[in-house]
Structure 1
Amino acid sequence: MSVVETVPGDSPVILAFPHTGTELPPDVAARLNANGRMLADTDWHVERLYDGLLPGATTVRAVVHRYVVDANRDPAGASLYPGQNTTGLAPLTDFDGQPIWSPGEEPDEAEVAERVARFHAPYHAALAAEIDRVRGIHGHSVVFDCHSIRSRIPFLFEGTLPDFNIGTDGGRTCAPAIEAAAVETCRAADGYTSVLNGRFRGGWTTRHYGRPETGVHAIQMELAQGTHLAAEAPPFAYDAAKADRLRAVLGPLLARVERAAFALKEPSR
């Protein structure tokens, strides 16, 4: 089974897709319950949504589903949001707090460690290699971590999520110009709502790699799925009309992020 798909580019921007994969090892698939087999927490169609928007962008995509192991979680198992409901490194429940494994089939600590080595580590090895390669070309690299989620999930947050949820961990993970490029583009997008460092302020990928002082910048974009799906429910179908309208915002956004990256001064080594 393929673990990660990488397409190298010559832009300073790297598009990362940790949650679009839907593949399951047979031994894992057999142990999921009916709820788990729906794979409801997939970042549905996000790789299609971004396809071709920034010529030259590198892409790194995890192929296996997040229920196997979550590539956007700390491999040591630390919570992203202490004190708040969330799902972990090898989730036991879905985003609604409902079990995803058949009784007695939940992964134990040893199995989680094996999954980290088999799936999580190769994804991040590929991403880290591309970060270093791109930084070697430009002096900077920008990880744009691409996500989507249902807009209403009471187990995780109250109310309705904005359309664009930008995460920079309080401005720590990227240069102000890169953050501003995303914020200003989203705020100006007619008919859409947005927030900076709201419920989702950047996952482990963003926080782990985002070190502006080293020339590595990271920013997370969590899209509400109503922006590009026909419905936020099975079969989670792609809505081309909605998606085309959204792509008309995301394309200029990525272009602004790229321009901001080109304008940055190279960090002292």
Structure 2
Amino acid sequence: MKNIAHTLIRRGLNRVFPGGEGTSHPETDRVAAPPPVLVSGAVETPLVLASPHSGCFYPEAFVQNSRQPLHRLRSGEDSYVEELAAGAHALGPVLLSATFPRAFCDVNRAAWDLDPRMFDGPVPSFVKATHRGLSGLGSIPRIVADNRPIYHTRIPFMEAALRIRDYWMPYHATLAETLRLTHARHGICLLLDLHSMPDAPEAGSPDFVLGDGHGTSCDSRFVTTAEDTLTNLGYKTTRNNPYAGGYITRHYGRPREGLHALQIEIRRGLYMDEATRTKNQGFETLQHTLTTLTAQLLQSLSRRTMT
């Protein structure tokens, strides 16, 4: 499966770094920093688990240069999601997780979806901001919760380009290759893109939100299986409200090609105290829930491959 979008991103990086890969990242101690993405397991099943927003390695210089204290920078973090998926991972699916936080680099946005106003000079023509980017929530966010600005001053565009090269690209290169291998081996692939969310009273305070890009990124049979499984376990679910899926779901979900992507948002109050970011008594129950959900989806995938 071709990945034309990522080829264009590399071309943009080549324009920023015409001398090749020699430029180092000033904010990260490469001895102390973990790799940008961790991968556990192999493509033994047609299902892939991913947690793009649970990373909690904050480069010290980034924290020091921020206007916000660390606890506010962590407000958008999907804490412990990769741990919640441990039981599901034990059933055989490969598990990917980013180690860096979304406040530093958000891989669920297009690479060059950036607010030009956050930089201290002109930006290249390949920067194309969506309404999300212009609101401060692009691939290099300008704000955190409650519209609080992250930076004291505008930052050099080179800083954003370095993060795209050193964090965004490795995550997506790993994810794309994992999906390719899974599809090649099994003839079908389902990506569960796992996230957590605050309570959403505007949508009726669901426990889970299933995002399939309004029917464009995943076969409806898999979404129905997920919905029925969670409902039968006593959870309240919604589809695409208020989260229909971000860049990852929309970019990788190609049902006609046998590649399906489903974003799953989990209400944080089910498993942790949002104020203290500590696990609560529901953590283990939710682990079992994700394990049951994954088992049901694996059965659904098995039936699909036999038809």
For the aligned pair, the TM-score class normalised by the smaller chain equals: 0.7 to 0.9
Counterpart of 2:166 (choices 111, 118, 121) is 118
Residue aligned with 2:39, SS: strand
Counterpart of 1:96 (choices 134, 140, 146) is 146
Q: Which amino acid aligns with 1:242?
A: G
Hey, what's the Cα distance between the residues in 2 that align with 1:167 and 1:79? 22
Per the TM alignment, residue 204 of structure 1 is displaced from its structure 2 partner at its CA by 0.7
Decide which structure has the larger Cα Rg and report it: 2
* Aligned positions of 1:193-232 closer than 5 A: 193-229=236-272, 231-232=273-274
Which structure has the highest helix share of the two? Answer: 2
Q: Which amino acid aligns with 1:164?
A: F
Hey, what's the Cα distance between the residues in 2 that align with 1:60 and 1:186? 23
Hey, what's the Cα distance between the residues in 2 that align with 1:98 and 1:8? 38
Per the TM alignment, residue 27 of structure 1 is displaced from its structure 2 partner at its CA by 2.8
Q: Which amino acid aligns with 2:97?
A: R
Cα separation, partners in 2 of 1:67 and 1:139, compared to 1, 3 Å: same
Residue aligned with 1:113, SS: helix
Structure 1 counterpart of 2:180:
132
Cα separation, partners in 2 of 1:7 and 1:80, compared to 1, 3 Å: farther
Structure 2 counterpart of 1:142:
190
Structure 1 counterpart of 2:29:
none
Is the aligned partner of 1:15 residue 2:58?
Answer: no
Hey, what's the Cα distance between the residues in 2 that align with 1:161 and 1:177? 24
- The C-alpha deviation readout for 1:225-247, integer Å capped at 9, x for no partner, is 00100x211x21011x2022223
Matched-pair contact (CA < 8 Å) for 2:55–2:77: yes
Under a length normalisation based on structure 2, what TM-score does the superposition of the two structures give?
Answer: 0.77
Residue aligned with 1:53, SS: helix
* Aligned positions of 1:165-180 closer than 5 A: 165-180=209-224
Q: Which amino acid aligns with 1:63?
A: T
Residue aligned with 2:145, SS: coil
Matched-pair contact (CA < 8 Å) for 1:94–1:100: yes
Hey, what's the Cα distance between the residues in 1 that align with 2:93 and 2:184? 15
Hey, what's the Cα distance between the residues in 1 that align with 2:93 and 2:277? 27
Per the TM alignment, residue 26 of structure 1 is displaced from its structure 2 partner at its CA by 3.1
Hey, what's the Cα distance between the residues in 1 that align with 2:134 and 2:205? 16
Cα separation, partners in 2 of 1:93 and 1:161, compared to 1, 3 Å: farther
Per the TM alignment, residue 110 of structure 1 is displaced from its structure 2 partner at its CA by 2.9
Matched-pair contact (CA < 8 Å) for 1:90–1:107: no
Under a length normalisation based on structure 1, what TM-score does the superposition of the two structures give?
Answer: 0.87
Cα separation, partners in 2 of 1:81 and 1:194, compared to 1, 3 Å: farther
- The C-alpha deviation readout for 1:56-87, integer Å capped at 9, x for no partner, is 11011111111111011111206676699672
Cα separation, partners in 2 of 1:61 and 1:11, compared to 1, 3 Å: same
Residue aligned with 1:123, SS: helix
Per the TM alignment, residue 251 of structure 1 is displaced from its structure 2 partner at its CA by 1.6
% identity of equivalent residues: 28
- The C-alpha deviation readout for 1:13-65, integer Å capped at 9, x for no partner, is 11111100011233322212333554121101111111122411101111111
Matched-pair contact (CA < 8 Å) for 1:174–1:210: yes
Matched-pair contact (CA < 8 Å) for 2:87–2:288: no
Q: Which amino acid aligns with 2:63?
A: A
Cα separation, partners in 2 of 1:112 and 1:119, compared to 1, 3 Å: same
